[in-house]
A and B are shown apart, each in its own frame.
Chain A
């Protein structure tokens, strides 16, 4: 008896002592009495990597967050807020007639000590010969790449894809030929993954800290060319640690507890925390975030009644996007323009056309429109013109809770207009697979990120042909909208030289008019560049009210916008 008592008392005491020891040993932040990455010199980010880190392959879209931008840099960068390209590894890069000329900066060094030259640029572009390379479609149009020291001159077989090529120039990471010469086949291009990639950037991978389940650690590269050449301030953080994203709870708490400095997750309720001055965002009040992409309702335009533009218009008019913005997102997002063009593309919006063709929320007007065009109500719900009951299915990836809420609101608001929608639950891959192969009525989706040119947006909407078998649609036109005219306009836009501003304007006007008239997609709201940061260790974060108007995201593709400037301008607290 006594023994048991003693045992349990001892057990409880042990646990208590252990807890006390661990908590004092490990929770003391910077004061921890053991070797760690010193917190005050470390920038901790998260919000990009969901699930284990797959490695360092720059081409399959799942490389360790931060690798492209911190380690492997691009020739150019793009500032979406100013709408300007930034010369980066290239001293200059641009069109001279139908040729593309790149002049590589001198003084840029790989971390293995070798100089970065024009040859390296040609090597990287030529990796496009492998069919799994995302720029393979552009590479096949390349006639010749002439290298002369630091100058690279590219000639094309036909009219260049001006826009796509320019886009490639700030998205193609320069990787070291020393390592990448191991790539000998299309399959190897997708499996290539060096442990410590050789790069030119401000950081290198600290292999010892890498843990695929938890984090990737970057260490400052003191010989970074941009700091030496005074192109950019030298970044202050000695280490950058990007944490694997696990759950909203974890993320939000990590931000509040000062474990993370920058988090790029959608965190519900962050508006309340901004109000309590616990975290900061790019805008101090609504809309809080910059806009990253357009969330839209994607109808399957090959199915009745969604193949009828009138029906799609009525559906659009029934969407109570205001409710989604105010109740689901508490104004963390903005309602979309009827063109769906992101705020950074504002200058491309044809205001007169929007006034003329844009749709507005109005369930009763939607009802009238349908009735006018021969749709009949039966028991409060509309039927097809053939007299069949309409019941559309709608799905979002399971577990995307903000979209699930939006989905429920959409179902309710469509019901107000007599349009019956039923929710279908699909996990992400089923959802994506069904979307690609056309096995759906409606989905909420957002496919095209902020970029340097609305062409990426139009290409995503109008791309032809629609592939009906096998893979289905893999990257564009999930609504399966066949409009040969529009597709020709998109191609023409790609082939229009950047100095032909008049034609560019006209083409963009036409494309958005078609969108608003035919509504192959129904733009709903702009998802934000989710970014919340704290100033416990680092200050000088970007903000709309300062000169530091940078995009605060570690997301793939965002560091080479102005994400890197966010890091180089941070100050130690």
Chain B
């Protein structure tokens, strides 16, 4: 057990180091210099003064240091929880941009992942048992899972928002809403949250449903199922076993799909102008806002690592075989 966890932790730690390094390297390899953006906004006419101010900012952002030092300082400030200052939104700290965005992203992601996984598995299992349902759900599932996230978003906007005006086109809440922890504001939030959630949910749902349906069919056709059948075990029991076995790969699939759904959330947020991390990083990318890109990527990396870890634990709990297998090295 401990050995298994230790190994996992080492892998996660290494992934983290590599990811942080890449995260740091990427903006620094980009051409262009963010301080120039700032200079362009301040509009200093005297070239000598301009040069002084330029040097000042290069120093303030540590951009005048040799690369290895910049890298070192990046780690140092990382452990101080300091992610730097946004250049586009100077002087807003990156941390404050992230803390403003995270709730929105989580509010989309967690329900979308959990509900789509749950409902998808249930529906898939159901479809595997009923020919009629199978013939309708299956094609729909394939269509949904093959739909680009943004296109589904576009369709929903076009039909439900632009044409029928049932839902808003974007934003997290109505511009005239007064914020507060009360039902009116929360319902307003939910109203704006619904379409982006729905488009994320639908695409993911299709994938899980098909996955489950196919998995159950595998199981029902497997030797043990036939054997049980031959022994005269009731169908319900066989199905129960099949479902239980089929869920396991779906849990692994959850870990693998996290990145994909997160990617989907990013695009969905862009389509719906939903002010989560995806939307913020998109803005930062198009404006080459070094520190914001870095900070948000960092949070995403940490989030994905954590989620993977949770899935690992869940898997361990659900499937005792893993424990033995992992402890013994090779299965």
Contact = CB atoms under 8 A, between A and B. Distances in A.
Is any CB of A less than 8 Å from a CB of B in the complex? yes
Interface of A: 1, 4-5, 7-8, 11, 18-19, 21-23, 25-27, 32-39, 42, 44, 50-55, 57, 59-62, 131-132, 134, 136-137, 186-187, 190-191, 193, 208-209, 211-215, 241, 243, 246-247, 249-250, 253-254, 256-257, 259-260, 398-399, 427-430, 432-434, 436-437, 465, 467, 470-472, 474-475
B218 interface: no
B167 interface: yes
A54 B194 CA distance: 28
Contacts of A398: 286
A433 B122 contact: no
Contact of B89 (A54, A59, A246, A436): A54
B92 A186 contact: no
Contacts of B168: 26-27, 257, 259
A246 B169 CA distance: 11
Contacts of B29: none
A44 B165 CA distance: 19
Contact of B31 (A11, A253, A433): A433
Contacts of A211: 100, 179
B313 interface: no
B45 interface: yes
Contacts of B182: 34
B262 interface: no
Given A52-B89, A55-B92, A247-B170, 10 more contacts: A22-B190, A22-B194, A34-B182, A34-B188, A36-B174, A44-B175, A137-B44, A243-B175, A253-B157, A429-B288
B283 A52 contact: yes
A190 B42 contact: yes
B42 A250 contact: no
Contact of B50 (A60, A246, A474): A474
B326 to A, nearest CB: 33
B258 interface: no
Contacts of B97: 52, 212
A211 B157 CA distance: 24
Contacts of A434: 31-32
B291 interface: no
Interface stretch (B15-23, B52-60, B220-228, B302-310): B52-60
Contacts of B270: 247
Q: Which 9 A-B pairs have CB atoms at the shortest separation, nearest pair first?
A: A34-B184, A246-B273, A22-B191, A429-B288, A213-B275, A433-B32, A54-B89, A61-B41, A253-B169
B40 interface: yes
Contact of A250 (B101, B178, B273): B273
A244 B172 CA distance: 12
10 contacts: A1-B129, A26-B168, A26-B191, A34-B182, A36-B184, A55-B89, A249-B170, A250-B273, A253-B162, A475-B43
Contacts of B180: 35
Contact of B286 (A27, A427, A465): A427
Contacts of A427: 285-288
Contacts of B50: 467, 471, 474
B52 A131 contact: yes
A136 B46 contact: yes
Contacts of A32: 174, 184
Contacts of B9: none
Interface string B144-176: 000000000000010001100111111111111
Contacts of A253: 157, 161-162, 169-170
Contacts of B123: 8
A206 to B, nearest CB: 10
Contacts of B169: 249-250, 253-254, 257
Contacts of B40: 432, 436, 474-475
A268 B43 CA distance: 30
B90 A60 contact: yes
A466 to B, nearest CB: 9
B188 to A, nearest CB: 5
Given A430-B288, A465-B47, A472 B41 contact: no
B119 interface: yes
B286 A215 contact: no
B185 interface: yes
Given A8-B122, A427-B288, A432-B36, A51 B176 contact: no
B248 to A, nearest CB: 20
B34 A429 contact: yes
B298 interface: no
A249 B170 CA distance: 9
A61 B176 CA distance: 26
A22 B166 CA distance: 10
Given A52-B97, A214-B172, A470 B51 contact: yes
A471 B48 CA distance: 11
